[in-house]
Structure 1
């Protein structure tokens, strides 16, 4: 037991350091990848509290890369690939080949050897999927034109890591001198065929049987087994484990159990991938970095400049606008997490030594840290007019009595009521995925943002008798309302509210009607609970109506006091605190109300107005 204490202590230190650094770096906008690297550097080279088993930690962490490629494969449905085929296999392929070739040519002048230059050049050509997508999602730009273009390039880069890893044994010293073993090649392709056939004809029936058992832990174990068995089979056949996991993911992309597999694998993927990045930090040679700090400071900006200079004209060549090309080039200039994987594997294969590997990882890390700055620069240089330019905005046939902005779950239910009444509607949404999903059911939804005046005008806002704002985020809703109140002041606005403070803010903005998204469902839920407890329907209706009335009166009173979000003052706080309309009974001797009896406030109301009192239940 005493021998295992140091091991457990190191595990706790790694977990604690990863949690602390990942959370901190996420909060300051640098991403968890840099946080994990920082934790590894602090625990290893700086403080030296984790000095044993670094290679073992790295090998275990490599399973995170295997699981990541499996999940990437699960996402690659043929229909999705086909819709983005030009950007993925055209622009993405050109970016990897030309950027890799340019960097390889530049590195050829250094005393590294052509094999090392090739690996480093194409490793640097890959960008950070996790980092770039995080920036796009946080800015709400993933569904913009440049967001989709960036995603397509990243998707091909994720595919490119598979052949790059497969090429390392060939580029390793002595790998190019080996003759072609026909039997080994035949066995490799036989293993590949066996994996394809198993994925097509065995895995789905297997998961069907396991799902019928109802044991969730069995499904988790089966998911891990499929990924690791596929990876091991490809490794034994001479390919990389990552390639095996990727092929298994692609084969299961159309499976009915795809989402179950992804949900089961994703926690292991995140944990092990974080462990991998921590292990990379543990393995860094701080002495080498300190001795060559000037090289890192020069190499990282040079790398970003070369990648942006190659990607910008490529985007223009593939038909993107200047703004989209500029923003795409400036969101993807960094090195990526797959560079860590490639450089670690290349170092293990003796293509270059560990000191060079530490320098390369440091260059990639610095380029990641500089990416928020380049992304901000892209927004400033491109202007605001290109940010929501994802799909062709075709408003032919738009213009109806009702204009709905936002078609999420709230808007979808409201639309059902209005369509059932026979009214035609013009629906506007900025999510391409939602538009495509709704299109399968016959909905005609126009792509565009309610934050743009020209889009609202093209969608027929001047002809609409009422505009329904059903967007999800309060800040987006407020922006849409402010724009419409400013540019189209005669428009009647019915708005979905997020909470009580948001309702007060909307009232101050002068909307015709607002409704908290959970109010009526909560009242109905409470009423049905009373029905289950034996209350008469009339009594239930009376209680629910009274709660609704008193809530409306309190909201009106709070509005009159100027307590809304947008109308706060020194005397009135900017936000109201939720308070119950009816306080619960205390347990200090208070008599509980008999079952079915109305609340005290209803009894008092009945005493004041006998003619309006409801009959006893």
Structure 2
């Protein structure tokens, strides 16, 4: 048994993948390069066409290679499902509806025009029209799994890419079934299957929308009350896997269900926390997918047909980049945005491989042709990050000053805590027209705050990614209002280390806690005992007939005196330079 465990292919492959992730992500992050390239190169190195071909001669390579590429396919598919789920979390139905012109206008035109042009080129070279259509629409698709992590979804380039990719993800289902309908001996069966899938899929989507709106808010509210990250993760995975299985059972792609699940959760206040919890699993599963792409590249075949393959890759990339860029310009996009998006969307997609497989099964293209274009697709996916870098360079030359719409959103003061103190701070920011967002890990507090009209989101601010998604890098200030002294001090220390110039205003329980917060790096620490004493003094003086002006002046003078004393007690001789001034919160 021990020997079997030691030489288990599953364990060996798992070690290779985890080792690759541990090496690729930090190394590429250090050099500011997307890890997409790294994972694909790892697949090239450890796959059956890399070191894997020498396992018989050198058995010790077994532990450094992936022996069963097909066993990784379910994990790769799971990565794509999680990707679409997180895309749904970022969208929400309101945002998707606002993008309908781009999705069903730009997206439809892009797919139909590029697919039609490539199909016409194949038909002109002698390919049967059915096979030409299959190849045309297969190569017209672009990679959701690679493009969106590079572009994001909030910039003009990201929004344009997202709209086209969403339409392609929707269109993949009818494309696959139409290929079946075009098969030489399955016309009637193919059309009947398409109609059945469409009505069943529509019924499942409607059922998911209704059940999701009714069941998801109480499900995640209960998970939030337990304050258990494990339960939150289990609930998230239950929703995404359940929705994916439901659409798959109806004949649709599982990614459709994952997208719907994300859209439904995006309508709740828990979407940010769900996104943060799912993120590590999505990244690792997508890494597996990218490794499988690299493993499919055979250098021997590439060398044997090098000229034809390079010509095919170049032709596809140039055609798609030009058509996409021209369409975006016709729809009013800036030249820089059109050029960058065109280059980013130029490569084929992981779903191209699905369409090629379906076309081969339907006898529309032969296996040799399918294998050739699979290699072209793998090479295209590999160079996508390089095309993205080229696109950014071209965009900068066209437009050195990026437009204001390229910003990720207005900078907002972040209030940690949505309780009594946090809501009072928010009230004062609202009075002065200062944008803010509050975050709290108590679902009940968030629900009450949102009902009262406050801008609040559920999340654990102690986790770095929770504040990252709120835009902490551009935040004018962070205000810590929670009544948890140890947590406040830890967060102050971490935030000061990561953001040396960030103004941090913290609520302190007493004078000693305020001194601790100043030592940790707080810009201002406001002790509750001090403020209550000053407010009592103010009320007494006013009631005794002292004019309001001198009273306010003396209160401010005494507050400044106490703060200076607390700073000295905190031994904060060298305060970090602040990047902006912050109003006195006393």
State the TM-score, normalized to the length of structure 1.
0.61
The SS at the match of 1:178 is: helix
User: Do the aligned partners of 1:296 and 1:363 also contact (CA within 8 Å) in 2?
Assistant: no
How much does 1:189 deviate?
4.8
The answer as to 2:386 corresponding to 1:375 is no
Contact 2:92 2:264 in 1 (8 A): no
What's the CA shift for 1:12?
A: 0.6
- For residues 107 and 313 of structure 2, the distance between their equivalents in structure 1, rounded to whole angstroms, comes to 22
**Offset of residue 54 of structure 1:** 1.5
1:133-186 C-alpha deviation (Å, 9 max, x unpaired)? 55557xxxx76xxx3254233233134223214532441445534265489556
Is the contact made by 2:139 and 2:352 (CA closer than 8 Å) also made in structure 1? yes
Residue of structure 2 in register with 1:54 after alignment: 69
Aligned to 1:276: 289
Question: Out of 226, 232, 241, which is 2:245 matched to?
Answer: 232
Kindly indicate whether residue 566 of structure 2 is the aligned counterpart of residue 544 of structure 1: yes
* Corresponding residue to 1:303 among 316, 325, 345: 316
- Aligned-residue Cα RMSD (Å) equals 4.9
Q: Deviations over 1:210-264 (max 9, x none)?
A: 5555554334223323322322232222222222323333344323443444344
Secondary structure of the corresponding residue to residue 309 of structure 1: helix
1:334 match: secondary structure: coil
Partner of 1:482: none
Q: Shift of residue 66 of structure 1?
A: 1.9
Cα displacement (A) at 1:42 = 0.8
* Structure 1 position 171 matched with structure 2 position 172: no
- Tell me what 2:169 maps to: 161
Who is 1:517 aligned against? 503
The partner residue of 2:39 within 2, 12, 36 is 36
Q: Which residue of 1 aligns with 2:486?
A: none
Q: Distance in 2 between matches of 1:232 and 1:426?
A: 45
Cα shift at 1:206: 4.3
TM-score scaled to structure 2, two decimals? Answer: 0.64
Q: Per the alignment, do residues 166 and 41 of structure 1 end up closer, same or farther by CA in structure 2, a change over 3 Å counting?
A: farther
Query: Does the CA-based 8 Å contact 1:330-1:375 persist in structure 2?
Result: yes
**In the alignment, is the contact (CA less than 8 A) between 2:313 and 2:379 conserved in 1?**
yes
Aligned to 2:375: 359
Alpha-carbon spacing, 1:421–1:58, altered in 2? closer, same or farther (3 Å): closer
Check if 1:221 corresponds to 2:234: yes
Residue pair 1:500, 1:516 contacting (<8 A) in 2 also: no
Is the 1:70–1:246 contact (alpha carbons within 8 Å) kept by the matching residues of 2?
yes
Name which of 66, 69, 90 aligns with 2:105: 90
Q: Which stretches in structure 2 are left out of the alignment for 5+ residues?
A: 53-61, 416-420, 436-451, 456-470, 477-494, 518-528, 531-557, 578-586
Tell me which residue corresponds to 1:77.
Answer: 92
TM-superposition CA deviations, 1:52-83 (whole Å, max 9, x none)? 43212113321221222223233332321243
Give how far 1:124 is off. Answer: 3.2
For 1:421-436, list aligned pairs within 5 A. none
Task: Describe how 1:346-425 pairs up with structure 2 within 5 A.
Answer: 353=367, 355-388=371-404, 407-409=412-414
Q: Distance in 2 between matches of 1:220 and 1:555?
A: 40
Partner of 1:5: 6
3-state SS of 1:320 partner:
coil
Task: Pick from 104, 111, 114 the counterpart of residue 99 of structure 1.
Answer: 114
Answer whether contact 1:131 1:368 (CA < 8 A) is retained. yes
Which of 290, 297, 302 is residue 289 of structure 1 equivalent to? Answer: 302
Q: In the aligned structure 1, how far is the partner of 2:434 from the partner of 2:211?
A: 48
Larger gyration radius, structure 1 or structure 2: 1
Q: Deviations over 1:489-514 (max 9, x none)?
A: xxxxxxxxx979999xxxxxxxxxxx
CA distance in 2 between partners of 1:261 and 1:108 (Å): 48
Quote the offset at 1:266 in angstroms.
Answer: 3.3
Structure 2 contact 336–396 (Cα < 8 Å) conserved: no
The 8 Å contact of residues 308 and 332 in structure 1, kept in 2 or not, is answered as yes
Query: Residues 182-197 of structure 1: matches in 2 within 5 Å?
Result: 184=196, 189-197=202-210
Question: Does the CA contact (< 8 Å) of 1:307 and 1:329 recur in 2?
Answer: yes
Native 8 Å contact 2:321 2:342 kept in 1: yes
Check conservation: 1:25, 1:32, Cα contact below 8 A: yes
Aligned residues: 464
User: Where do 5+ consecutive residues of structure 1 fail to align?
Assistant: 392-404, 428-439, 444-470, 478-497, 504-514, 560-617
Aligned pairs for 1:518-597 (under 5 A) are 518=504, 521=506, 527-528=512-513, 543-546=565-568
Q: Deviations over 1:469-528 (max 9, x none)?
A: xx9769x99xxxxxxxxxxxxxxxxxxxx979999xxxxxxxxxxx7624x659998742
Please show how residues 452-531 of structure 1 align to structure 2 within 5 Å. 517-518=503-504, 521=506, 527-528=512-513
Query: Could you tell me which residue of structure 2 aligns to residue 577 of structure 1?
Result: none
Cα distance 1:282–1:113, how it changes in 2: closer, same or farther (>3 A)?
A: farther
**Where do 1:115-134 residues align within 5 Å?**
115-129=130-144, 131-133=146-148
The CA deviation string for residues 547-606 of structure 1, in whole angstroms up to 9 with x for no partner, is 58x756x689xx9xxxxxxxxxxxxxxxxxxxxxxxxxxxxxxxxxxxxxxxxxxxxxxx
1:121 aligns to what SS in structure 2? helix
Aligned to 1:242: 255
SS state at 1:284 partner: coil
Q: Could you tell me which of 310, 320, 343 is aligned with 2:333?
A: 320
CA drift at 1:292: 1.9
Residues 21 and 296 of structure 1: CA distance in aligned 2, closer, same or farther (over 3 Å): farther
Shift of 1:128: 4.2
Tell me the secondary structure at the aligned position of residue 4 of structure 2: coil
Distance 1:362 1:253 in 2: 33
Contact 2:156 2:405 in 1 (8 A): no
